Amino acid sequence: MASEDHGAFIRNIAEVPWREFPNHFGGALSKPLVMPETAGSRHIDYRISMYQPMAHVARHKHKIQEQIYHVLEGEGLMEIAGKNHVVRKHDFIFLPPGVEHAISNSGLVDLVFLVITSPVTDDEKPV
């Protein structure tokens, strides 16, 4: 439902297929709601993720990207700089560039969370 004049749109989450992105394992699925490929965004990657019990993303860090995770349902473990933290409904996590992190579903039900990332790529900008 994108508008041809200005790029704005309204879309229902059911229209966006689930994907398992690289380095996501065991039923770590995401719906890419707003990102360059799905919405033509230039500054924001916005997705909803649903991790089945035991699903996880590999430990990683970003060079220049900032991220926010916002837990909507379930509980899991968020590893930040080598330390595990229990996260559950209504918790939100801010991750500046360079901080190693991972998230896994250590609970009994699906872990559902939003992820907002900016900028959309982790390429270092030339000086």
Ramachandran angles phi, psi of 59, nearest 5°: -60, 135
**Which class is 23-104+114-118 in CATH?**
mainly beta
| 22-34 pLDDT, tens digit each | 999 999 999 999 9
CB 109 within 8 A of CB 53: yes
Strand order in the sheet with 75-80: 24-25, 56-57, 101-104, 75-80, 83-88
Give how far the C-alpha of residue 94 lies from the chain's centroid of Cα atoms, to the nearest Å.
Answer: 12
pTM over cut 0.75: yes
Task: Yes or no: say if 55 and 27 are a contact pair by the CB < 8 Å rule.
Answer: yes
In this predicted structure, the answer to whether residue 124 has a pLDDT above a threshold of 80 is no
The structural domains of the chain, with segments of one domain joined by +, span: 23-104+114-118
Evaluate the omega torsion of the peptide bond into residue 53 and state whether it is cis, within 30 degrees of 0. Answer: no
